[in-house]
């Protein structure tokens, strides 16, 4: 049986790309193997762990369960695209560094892409909404704590709420309202 | 670097695609090399072009398709010995697997391995152009190069049995030749041609006449003839001084006269 | 003198590269042309492979080679545990593994391998091969106590009743002690479950020939040990292999075992040194790598009226799975901790490590202590309740006192660490008010708060060799590179070491560069990272090596300043004359001059090995506040605080990260994680990230880490272990908090809805009218 | 890389229908969040696939001329949750699909795929069942409409003909008119999980907000396919809103649900949770509808 190939035209990290792919390739395969964007990681290949998350037309997707041929005409961003031409880190990347949100670093690329979408949405997420927005990623090293801090701080800074951002680290203990008979 | 590649399936298709910005791509040893003399927007590849790779012998003449590679010539039993000898001048086996006889002619290299022998043999080219195809002698093709530039060489026809000698002077087997000369018996006289690096490819008509007029010329006379022959431009360059080049032509002409006269010419039976 | 770099939250040295996505893990470094290896796993839990018909698989387009267990000319049995080797056979790990076996002992054992051009062809071949294996199936056993009974299937001849090891401890006389009148007896069974490391980067390695040697690039915690074990597994000189460890995507102990490096190296050799890559899919990571030991405890205590312990007994059955891996070390560590955490004069204890036809248990963060801490602290809570004492006060009364000295390990508790941690944690979470507030609630949704502690030490002295080597090389500008045997796996070892070197040489951290990826051809020998030994162990060799280098620097400085060495010092990158404080030259000028001088040129470098002969107690505690929705059988963790005494904290930000990670692992261990097998077929049921319930972002509250810094006298920089301790006290704290909320103290993990529903039904907290007749003791 | 014998990319609905006829045993690939995973697991390895992912004409939510809410089958979960029409008339559907997997899964997963793979745990299915949704299928002879309760035949098998693809899901006007719904997903963790049991309740109250005019309750994973608890609905119809009726309503669901016993969850647990969820969901509906469910 002969293999099927197709040319995919899309923009990756702001650059026009024409890439011939085997139609069986996932987008992760194309990004990692054909375009050598190795920041896109493989953790499970079934859309569970989020390590392969990239931004497609402004939304986060698990690229491991997204066919490469579907990228036709799409605008794709990976972590390599967030760093400035001179190596400048975007503020969400810098926050991950400053808040100790990175340990082994394997889930970091996926997390930063979703966080980038959140902080650039201009919306103010409540804590629970923030957890839900980031819940497509699994991490075993950090317990999600410093990632939560990094994203919340950057979101608040984007909204100009600088003092509130500085308070994030001190609100470790949360007082919950009296339990209703049910929520 | 060309931005478009067309795979012509037939000569007609190749010709219809041939514009000023397009160039034929035969074996590719000239077109594809770094610093190639050919700079075209579009390349028309003849690799898959029908009808250009046969070798036929008919009534004492052999017709060779323009896309035959040098190595095919060498390995073919139909191709006359003097052509196979000239083909051997290209020392690199791998290059011979690519280079084609049509390409070699069309690129008109001043140090061509093949053209002096074809001139000496009175080769006839079959060309195809926008106006249809025609058959012309190789000399006419060389003289009116600009006119025929747009044409596609379909084949080369040469006589099977003639006495022809060739000589090539270069520092190493691979390096370009300062001088490639051929001569053949034609009727009662000799036809002689020379490809002189950084100068040109010439039918040595003047010398042929001089020899015809005075067949008993001494070797020294021949050598001094060439030293004084001012019809062609011979300059000193990295390949040698003017005297050296002229001397080479002279001594080669002497060898040819002796070789062809004594019947020991390389008329080697296949 | 106050430290300039130690104790500072220096940014992780590799944080920027990781945030930019340019860090290279093993798969990122492997060339595209590598052939893909997929392992053929046994689909029976116990059996003998009679035949594997490889013909059909070999015909699949893209398949290059099919290997089976019958292709091994000689069978080299090898140990897989990431322990330092020992020249004393009695101390060597059990060598019972083969790279491919015709005697599978668990579902997922390795019986063959396929080499193909891409993963699709490999997967096709595996599916075909799985149908063409002829087994002689044998009965199997999954439970540890069942495996010890007569007539149970025998896994390894040399170990009758499947008992890998059985050890005991005895102190005083329990028999006599319990005759004392007025004692209260408290007894309990405690059951912990098998869980898996779930590091997000699956195990992966690739191998290729280089000269007459084989290079193996692998995601591991222990490169030097991997090289030794490959040699043993292939029956070849260890020097014939070169192991390289790039950045690692998490290990947690799974990568402290040698996993598929020997098989990968062997296949590369069979194929004439071709580049072959073996990456393990997530489903195989769960069952064919290592898991945590499931341990069942039975503990009995006799309490005096004043709440002190008269006598105590403990039995522990440790399910080791099909092969030895780390052997008895995990069970032994738990047993050894029992008499130390709550000292008592009369103790009888014994523990068994038992083979079963289940995935192999190895090292996982805590190395037996999360299991033991769960049992010890559940039991302590039960004792406190039996004696009607406040659980915290009961602990303060009975825990290891200051000054406690343990003869065998020579450990000593130098400070009142337990009380300090309890006080600090109670204050942060508001423990005392909440205990009062949450007394005897009755609604459907109730809250509770509780505390638990744990025993932990640092590194493995005196049980095994503890050694660390370091090399520091100074460049012409005075900056340095350093190399260490201790590997960076995300815990921040490189950054901690850099801070130590900067402190010792008094140059900024920015001038200290780690050569992070260990390469056994170049990196000085070290056994890697495990047992929370990282910062503690490397501290010794780093300080010693830095001091050696400083000696050479000052000697060189003498040559160029004429000042006697004892009047010179290195401060903030300057050679300073201590008598009047004058700065004589910069470290950069000195390094340049010393290298290029034509009078005694020398390259300033130092290398040394340090054998550590000490250990250090590293204690702490966890406060957990929960909300239990009884009808829905769900637990919501409201707040959690861990307080740890890990000596002087080298980097507070990274240290709190380690605590968060341990808390997270503890939360999953407590509430949702459990690997399950089908009792009838021995087949694993939930070996994927969907059905194995790893905690997600929405299952965690804010995590709080706090520290009590008692400088550890035995340690190079006063540090103690912190990698594993945070994972230990969380599960018992959550269990006790659920008990405080509902009055129900459950002795089984995980405390998932299944468990809660059964326990709440039995206790009548849930009464479904339509189920009156069935309610009662359902099978455990 | 996925093990596919061939991939055919449809450019339009008609093109998809043509491909279905041309390649009878090719399977449909919408968002792929289930199908691609099953290929990797081996269940669908080596098959032929027709990708309809690029058919933008099947995306979007609108009100059609018959005032049905029309949801294009390729509309992703995240777009349904954010859609103003959904939020206004059937917000519970937006909430239900907002509990599928994680944000990235919800960006790729489609409501068409979710219903077509015929799995009882599909988060959208129990709600669509509870709102009497109508499935619109398009084939070579034009479109066909099937009530969702007839669309599900048995586990993993739905009523879709060899030449058809699902093109839309419709919610009739009389189904959503002043009707308020609430969905509870019972799973072992709060994200990236499949429902152990899913319960979707909706209610229309009397004008004086004292009685239940109509209550519908759908369950996922309470039987091989999504179901309705008709006996409970019958019981509560017209009844006064009070604790006792709500409790009785919740108990009555046991006559309809028959969950199975599996390692994922025991039968007793599923039954118990079904009852608790029915009570809580109905109370929430009453509150949403402005009634008084006495605590």
Which of C667, C642, C632 shows the shortest CA–CA distance to C750? Answer: C667
Q: Partners for B (CB, 8 Å, 3+ pairs)?
A: none
Q: Does A131 contact chain C (CB < 8 Å)?
A: yes
Q: Partners for D (CB, 8 Å, 3+ pairs)?
A: A, C
* A71 falls within a domain: yes
Same domain? For A66 and A97 the reply is no
**Architecture in CATH of C294-460+615-771:** 2-Layer Sandwich (3.30)
Q: What is the DSSP letter of B265?
A: S
CATH number at C32-138+203-279: 3.90.1170.50
The pTM score is 0.92
Interface mutation target, options A40, A79, A96, A143, chain C, most CBs of C under 10 Å: A143
Tokens matching residue C241:
């292999």
Q: Answer yes or no: are the C-beta atoms of C716 and C542 closer than 8 Å.
A: yes
Q: With beta carbons under 8 A apart, name residues in chain A contacting D2.
A: 24-26, 67
Same domain? For B10 and B144 the reply is no
Residue C779 confidence (pLDDT): 41
Helix (H, G, I), strand (E, B) or coil at C354: strand
- Give the nearest partner residue to D254 out of C695, C761, C770, using CB atoms: C770
Same domain? For A98 and A164 the reply is yes
Q: With beta carbons under 8 A apart, name residues in chain C contacting A32.
A: 28
Query: pLDDT band at A180, cuts 50/70/90?
Result: low
Say yes or no for a CB contact (<8 Å) between D192 and C672: no
Asked whether at least 3 C-beta pairs link D and C within 8 Å, the reply is: yes
A-C Cβ pairs (cutoff 8 Å, strict): 200
Each domain of chain C, given as residue ranges in start order, spans: 15-21+467-611, 32-138+203-279, 294-460+615-771
- Give the nearest partner residue to D272 out of C695, C699, C757, using CB atoms: C757
- C778: pLDDT strictly greater than 70: no
Distance from CA of D185 to the nearest CA of A (A): 13
Helix (H, G, I), strand (E, B) or coil at D84: helix
Residue B262 confidence (pLDDT): 72
* A182 falls within a domain: no
* B270 falls within a domain: no
Which of C444, A182, C753 shows the shortest CA–CA distance to D273? Answer: C753
Same domain? For B8 and B71 the reply is no
Same domain? For B165 and B187 the reply is yes
Number of domains, chain A: 2
| CATH code: domain of residue A125 | 1.10.150.120
The contacts of residue B154 (CB under 8 Å, 6+ apart) are B11, B51, B52, B65, B66, B126, B127, B128, B133
Write out pLDDT tens, residues D138-154.
Answer: 999 999 999 999 999 99
- C494: pLDDT strictly greater than 70: yes
**Architecture in CATH of D4-51:** 2-Layer Sandwich (3.30)
Complex-level ipTM: 0.91
CATH class of D182-288: alpha beta
CATH number at D59-172: 3.30.465.10
β-strands B152-159, B124-129 pairing: antiparallel
Residue C771 confidence (pLDDT): 81
Say yes or no for a CB contact (<8 Å) between C757 and D266: yes
Domain C294-460+615-771 in the same topology as domain C15-21+467-611? yes
Write out pLDDT tens, residues C578-619.
Answer: 999 999 999 999 999 999 999 999 999 999 999 999 999 999
- A110: pLDDT strictly greater than 70: yes
Q: Does C697 contact chain D (CB < 8 Å)?
A: yes
Continuous H helices in D131-229: 148-151, 173-176
Residue of chain C minimizing CA distance to A149: C702
Same domain? For A70 and A98 the reply is no
Helix (H, G, I), strand (E, B) or coil at A56: strand
Write out pLDDT tens, residues C643-669.
Answer: 999 999 999 999 999 999 999 999 999
Residue of chain C minimizing CA distance to D269: C757
Range of the domain at B74: 51-264
Write out pLDDT tens, residues C336-360.
Answer: 999 999 999 999 999 999 999 999 9
Residue D294 confidence (pLDDT): 63
Range of the domain at A135: 91-170
Q: Does A81 contact chain D (CB < 8 Å)?
A: no
Residue of chain D minimizing CA distance to A113: D104
- Give the nearest partner residue to C445 out of A41, A42, A181, using CB atoms: A181
Residues 466-505 of C with CB under 8 A from D: none
Q: Does D103 contact chain A (CB < 8 Å)?
A: yes
By residue count, chain C amounts to 780
Question: Residue by residue, what is the 3-state secondary structure of C324-337?
Answer: CCCCCHHHHHHHHH
Residue of chain C minimizing CA distance to D252: C770
Say yes or no for a CB contact (<8 Å) between C664 and A144: yes
Same domain? For A57 and A104 the reply is no
Residue of chain C minimizing CA distance to A170: C704
Say yes or no for a CB contact (<8 Å) between D192 and C696: yes
Say yes or no for a CB contact (<8 Å) between A23 and D7: yes
Residue B263 confidence (pLDDT): 54
- C777: pLDDT strictly greater than 60: no
Residue of chain D minimizing CA distance to A138: D192
Residue of chain A minimizing CA distance to C706: A172
Say yes or no for a CB contact (<8 Å) between A24 and D7: yes
Same domain? For A60 and A98 the reply is no
Tokens matching residue D230:
């008709």
Q: With beta carbons under 8 A apart, name residues in chain D contacting C685.
A: 263
- Over residues C444-463, the mean pLDDT reads 94
Q: Partners for C (CB, 8 Å, 3+ pairs)?
A: A, D
* A69 falls within a domain: yes
Distance from CA of A175 to the nearest CA of C (A): 8
Query: pLDDT band at C330, cuts 50/70/90?
Result: very high
C619-652 burial by CB neighbour count: b if 16+ within 10 A, else e?
bbbbbbbbbbbbbbbbbbbbbbbbbbbbbbbbbb
Say yes or no for a CB contact (<8 Å) between D2 and C120: yes
* A55 falls within a domain: yes
Asked whether at least 3 C-beta pairs link A and C within 8 Å, the reply is: yes
Same domain? For B36 and B63 the reply is no
* B10 falls within a domain: yes
Say yes or no for a CB contact (<8 Å) between D33 and A65: yes
* A124 falls within a domain: yes
- Over residues C362-366, the mean pLDDT reads 96
Same domain? For B125 and B258 the reply is yes
- B270: pLDDT strictly greater than 90: no
- Over residues C722-738, the mean pLDDT reads 97
- Give the nearest partner residue to D188 out of C123, C672, C698, using CB atoms: C672
Residue C441 confidence (pLDDT): 87
pLDDT over 90, % of chain C: 94
Distance from CA of C710 to the nearest CA of D (A): 38
Q: Answer yes or no: are the C-beta atoms of B84 and B74 closer than 8 Å.
A: yes
Tokens matching residue C63:
């398949």
Q: Where are the beta strands (DSSP E) in chain D?
A: 4-9, 27-29, 47-51, 61-63, 69-72, 134-139, 142-147, 152-154, 157-158, 165-171, 180-186, 197-205, 212-220, 227-228
Q: With beta carbons under 8 A apart, name residues in chain A contacting C199.
A: 104, 106, 140
Instruction: Return the minimum-mean-pLDDT range out of A44-48, A173-177, C82-86, C155-159.
Output: A173-177
Residue A179 confidence (pLDDT): 67
Query: pLDDT band at B38, cuts 50/70/90?
Result: confident
Say yes or no for a CB contact (<8 Å) between C698 and A132: yes
Q: Does A133 contact chain D (CB < 8 Å)?
A: yes
Residues 141-170 of A with CB under 8 A from D: none
Instruction: Return the minimum-mean-pLDDT range out of B103-107, B265-269, C243-247, C651-655.
Output: B265-269
Residue C773 confidence (pLDDT): 58
Residue A183 confidence (pLDDT): 36
Write out pLDDT tens, residues D207-225.
Answer: 999 999 999 999 999 999 9
Q: Answer yes or no: are the C-beta atoms of B150 and B111 closer than 8 Å.
A: no
Residue C217 confidence (pLDDT): 98
Distance from CA of D57 to the nearest CA of C (A): 32
C581-594 burial by CB neighbour count: b if 16+ within 10 A, else e?
eeebeebbbbbbbb
Say yes or no for a CB contact (<8 Å) between D191 and A136: yes
Q: Does A134 contact chain C (CB < 8 Å)?
A: yes
Write out pLDDT tens, residues B165-199.
Answer: 999 999 998 888 999 999 999 888 899 999 999 99
β-strands A75-77, B55-58 pairing: unpaired
Write out pLDDT tens, residues B58-117.
Answer: 999 999 999 999 999 999 999 999 999 999 999 999 999 999 999 999 988 888 989 999
Bond prior to C750 in cis (omega within 30° of 0): yes
Residue B108 confidence (pLDDT): 87
Say yes or no for a CB contact (<8 Å) between D191 and C696: yes
**What is the C-alpha to C-alpha distance for residues C449 and C439, in angstroms, rounded to an integer?**
10
Rounded (10°) angle between helices C369-386 and C329-341: 30
Torsions phi, psi of A60, nearest 5? -80, 135
Same domain? For B30 and B63 the reply is no
Q: Does D7 contact chain A (CB < 8 Å)?
A: yes
Each domain of chain D, given as residue ranges in start order, spans: 4-51, 59-172, 182-288
| Residue pointed to by tokens 């060779």 | B64
Say yes or no for a CB contact (<8 Å) between A104 and C200: yes
Q: What is the DSSP letter of A42?
A: -
Say yes or no for a CB contact (<8 Å) between D1 and A47: no
CATH T-level fold of C15-21+467-611: Aldehyde Oxidoreductase; domain 4 (3.30.365)
Q: Does D276 contact chain C (CB < 8 Å)?
A: yes
Boundary-marking domain end, from A21, A47, A81: A81
Q: Does A17 contact chain C (CB < 8 Å)?
A: no
Q: Does D88 contact chain C (CB < 8 Å)?
A: no
Same domain? For A108 and A77 the reply is no
Helix (H, G, I), strand (E, B) or coil at D58: helix
* A31 falls within a domain: yes
Same domain? For B37 and B121 the reply is no
**What is the C-alpha to C-alpha distance for residues B209 and C131, in angstroms, rounded to an integer?**
89
Same domain? For B114 and B130 the reply is yes
Distance from CA of D187 to the nearest CA of C (A): 9
Q: Does D110 contact chain A (CB < 8 Å)?
A: no
Say yes or no for a CB contact (<8 Å) between A70 and D53: yes
* B269 falls within a domain: no
Interface mutation target, options A145, A169, A170, chain C, most CBs of C under 10 Å: A145
- D176: pLDDT strictly greater than 50: yes
């Amino acid at each position: 049986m002969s293999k099927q190939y197709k040319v995919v035209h899309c923009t990756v990290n702001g650059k026009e790309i024409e890439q011939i792919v085997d139609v069986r390739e996932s987008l992760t395969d194309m990004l990692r193997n054909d375009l050598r964007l190795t920041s896109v990681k493989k953790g499970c290949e079934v859309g569970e762990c989020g390590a392969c998350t990239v931004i497609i037309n402004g939304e986060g997707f698990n690229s491991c369960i997204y066919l490469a041929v579907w990228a036709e005409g799409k605008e794709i961003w990976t972590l390599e695209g967030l760093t400035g031409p001179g190596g400048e880190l975007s503020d969400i990347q810098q926050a991950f560094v400053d808040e100790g949100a990175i340990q082994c670093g394997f889930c970091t690329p996926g997390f930063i892409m979703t966080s980038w979408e959140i902080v650039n949405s201009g919306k103010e997420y409540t804590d629970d909404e923030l957890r839900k927005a980031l819940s497509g990623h699994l991490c075993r090293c950090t317990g999600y704590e410093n990632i939560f801090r990094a994203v919340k701080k950057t979101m608040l800074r984007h909204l100009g709420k600088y003092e509130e951002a500085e308070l994030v680290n001190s609100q470790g203990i949360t007082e919950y309202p009296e339990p209703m008979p049910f929520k | 670097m060309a931005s478009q590649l067309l795979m012509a399936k037939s000569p007609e298709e190749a010709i219809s695609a041939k514009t000023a910005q397009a160039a034929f791509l035969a074996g590719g040893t000239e077109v594809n090399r770094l610093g190639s003399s050919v700079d075209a927007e579009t390349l028309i590849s003849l690799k898959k072009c029908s009808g250009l790779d046969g070798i036929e012998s008919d009534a004492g003449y052999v017709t060779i398709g323009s896309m035959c590679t040098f190595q095919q010539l060498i390995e073919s039993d139909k191709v006359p010995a003097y052509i196979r000898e000239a083909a051997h001048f290209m020392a690199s086996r791998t290059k011979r697997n690519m280079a084609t006889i049509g390409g070699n002619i069309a690129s008109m290299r001043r140090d061509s391995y093949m053209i002096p022998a074809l001139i000496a043999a009175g080769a006839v080219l079959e060309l195809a152009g926008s106006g249809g195809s025609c058959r012309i002698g190789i000399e006419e093709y060389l003289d009116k190069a600009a006119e025929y530039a747009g044409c596609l060489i379909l084949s080369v026809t040469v006589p099977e049995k003639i006495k022809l000698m060739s000589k090539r002077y270069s520092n190493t087997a691979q390096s370009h030749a300062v001088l490639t000369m051929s001569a053949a018996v034609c009727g009662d006289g000799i036809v002689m041609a020379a490809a002189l690096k950084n100068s040109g490819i010439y039918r040595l008509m003047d010398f042929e006449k001089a020899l015809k007029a005075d067949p008993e010329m001494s070797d020294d006379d021949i050598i001094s003839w060439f030293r004084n022959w001012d019809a062609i431009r011979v300059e000193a360059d990295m390949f040698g001084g003017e005297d050296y080049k002229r001397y080479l032509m002279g001594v080669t002409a002497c060898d040819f006269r002796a070789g062809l006269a004594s019947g020991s010419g390389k008329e080697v039976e296949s | 003198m106050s430290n300039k770099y130690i104790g500072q939250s220096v940014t992780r040295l590799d944080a920027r590269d990781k945030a930019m996505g340019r860090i290279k893990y093993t798969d990122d470094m492997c060339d595209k042309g590598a052939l893909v290896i997929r392992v053929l796993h046994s689909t029976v839990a116990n059996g003998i492979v009679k035949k594997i018909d490889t013909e059909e698989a070999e015909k699949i387009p893209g398949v290059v080679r099919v290997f089976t267990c019958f292709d091994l000319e000689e069978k080299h049995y090898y140990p897989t545990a990431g322990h330092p080797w020992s020249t004393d056979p009695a101390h060597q790990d059990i060598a019972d593994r083969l790279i491919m076996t015709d005697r599978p002992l668990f579902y997922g054992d390795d019986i063959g391998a396929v080499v193909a051009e891409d993963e699709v062809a490999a997967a096709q071949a595996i599916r075909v091969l799985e149908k063409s294996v002829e087994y002689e199936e044998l009965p199997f056993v999954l439970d540890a106590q069942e495996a010890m009974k007569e007539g149970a299937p025998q896994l390894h001849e040399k170990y009758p009743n499947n008992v890998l090891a059985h050890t005991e401890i005895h102190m005083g006389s329990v028999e006599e002690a319990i005759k004392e009148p007025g004692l209260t007896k408290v007894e309990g069974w405690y059951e912990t479950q098998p869980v898996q490391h779930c590091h997000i980067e699956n195990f992966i390695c690739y191998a290729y020939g280089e000269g007459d040697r084989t290079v193996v690039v692998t995601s591991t915690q222990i490169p030097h040990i991997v090289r030794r074990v490959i040699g043993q597994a292939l029956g070849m000189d260890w020097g014939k292999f070169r192991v390289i460890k790039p950045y690692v995507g998490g290990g947690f102990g799974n990568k402290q075992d040698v996993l598929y490096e020997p098989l990968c190296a062997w296949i590369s050799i069979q194929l004439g040194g071709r580049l072959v890559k073996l990456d393990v899919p997530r489903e195989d990571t769960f069952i064919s790598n290592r898991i945590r030991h499931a341990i069942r405890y039975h503990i009995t205590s006799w309490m005096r009226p004043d709440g002190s312990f008269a006598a105590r007994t403990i039995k522990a059955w440790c399910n080791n799975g099909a092969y030895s891996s780390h052997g008895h070390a995990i069970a032994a560590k738990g047993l050894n901790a029992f008499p130390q955490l709550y000292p008592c004069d009369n103790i009888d204890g014994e523990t068994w490590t038992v083979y079963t036809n289940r995935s192999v248990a190895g090292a996982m963060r805590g190395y037996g202590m999360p299991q033991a801490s769960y049992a010890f602290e559940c039991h302590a809570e039960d004792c406190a309740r039996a004696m009607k004492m406040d659980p915290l006060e009961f602990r303060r009364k009975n825990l290891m006192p200051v000054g406690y000295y343990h003869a065998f390990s020579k450990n000593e508790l130098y400070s009142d660490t337990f009380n300090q941690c309890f006080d600090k944690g109670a204050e942060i979470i508001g423990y005392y008010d909440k205990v009062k507030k949450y007394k005897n609630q009755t609604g459907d949704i109730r809250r509770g708060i509780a505390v638990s502690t744990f025993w932990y030490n640092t590194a493995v002295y005196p049980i095994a060799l503890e050694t660390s080597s370091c090399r520091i090389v100074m460049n012409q500008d005075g900056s340095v590179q350093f190399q260490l045997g201790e590997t960076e796996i995300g815990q921040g070892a490189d950054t901690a070491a850099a801070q130590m070197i900067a402190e010792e040489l008094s140059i900024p951290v920015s001038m200290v560069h780690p050569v992070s990826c260990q390469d056994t051809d170049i990196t000085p020998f070290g056994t890697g990272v495990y047992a929370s030994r990282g910062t503690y162990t490397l501290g010794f060799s780093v300080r010693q090596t830095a001091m050696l280098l400083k000696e050479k620097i000052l000697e060189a400085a003498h040559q160029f300043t004429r000042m006697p060495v004892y009047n010179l010092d290195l401060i903030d990158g300057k050679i300073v004359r201590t008598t009047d404080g004058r700065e004589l030259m910069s470290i950069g000028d000195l390094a340049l001059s010393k290298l290029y001088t034509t009078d005694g040129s020398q390259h300033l470098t130092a290398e040394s090995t340090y054998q550590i002969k000490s250990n250090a107690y590293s204690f702490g505690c966890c406060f957990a506040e929960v909300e239990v929705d009884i009808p829905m059988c769900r637990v919501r963790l409201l707040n959690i605080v861990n307080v740890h005494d890990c000596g002087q904290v080298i980097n507070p930000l990274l240290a709190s990260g380690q605590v968060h990670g341990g808390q997270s692992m503890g939360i999953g261990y407590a509430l949702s994680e459990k690997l399950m097998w089908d009792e009838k077929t021995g087949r694993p049921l939930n070996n994927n990230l969907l059905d194995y319930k790893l905690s997600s972002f929405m299952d965690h509250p804010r995590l709080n880490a706090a520290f009590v810094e008692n400088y550890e006298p035995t340690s190079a920089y006063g540090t103690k272990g912190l990698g594993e301790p945070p994972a230990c006290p969380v599960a018992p704290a959550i269990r006790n908090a659920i008990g405080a909320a509902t009055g129900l103290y459950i002795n089984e993990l995980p405390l998932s809805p299944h468990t809660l529903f059964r326990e709440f039904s039995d206790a009548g907290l849930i009464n479904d009218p339509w189920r009156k007749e069935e309610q009662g003791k359902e099978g455990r | 890389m996925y093990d596919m014998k061939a991939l055919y990319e449809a450019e339009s609905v008609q093109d998809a229908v043509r491909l279905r006829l041309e390649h009878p045993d090719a399977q449909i690939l919408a968002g792929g969040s289930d199908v691609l995973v099953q290929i990797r697991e081996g269940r669908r390895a080596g098959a032929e696939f027709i990708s309809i992912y690029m058919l933008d004409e099947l995306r979007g939510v609108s009100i059609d001329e018959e005032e049905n809410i029309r949801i294009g089958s390729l509309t992703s979960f995240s777009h349904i949750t954010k859609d103003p029409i959904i939020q206004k008339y059937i917000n519970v559907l937006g909430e239900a699909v907002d509990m599928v997997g994680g944000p990235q899964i919800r960006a790729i997963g489609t409501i068409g795929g979710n219903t077509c793979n015929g799995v009882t745990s599909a988060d959208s299915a129990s709600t669509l069942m509870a709102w009497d949704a109508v499935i619109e299928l398009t084939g070579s002879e034009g479109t066909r409409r099937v009530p969702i309760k007839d669309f599900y035949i048995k586990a993993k098998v739905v009523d879709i003909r060899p030449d058809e693809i699902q093109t839309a899901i419709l919610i009739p006007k009389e189904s959503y008119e002043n009707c308020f719904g609430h969905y509870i997903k019972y799973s072992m963790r709060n994200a990236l999980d499949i429902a152990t049991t899913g319960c979707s309740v909706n209610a229309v109250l009397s004008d004086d907000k004292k009685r239940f005019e109509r209550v519908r309750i759908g369950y996922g994973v309470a039987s091989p396919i999504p179901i309705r608890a008709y006996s409970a609905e019958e019981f509560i119809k017209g009844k006064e809103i009070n604790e006792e009726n709500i409790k009785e309503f919740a108990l009555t669901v046991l006559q309809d649900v028959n969950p199975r016993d599996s390692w994922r969850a025991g039968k007793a647990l599923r039954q118990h949770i079904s009852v608790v969820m029915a009570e809580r969901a109905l109370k929430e509906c009453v509150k949403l509808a402005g009634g008084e469910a006495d605590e």
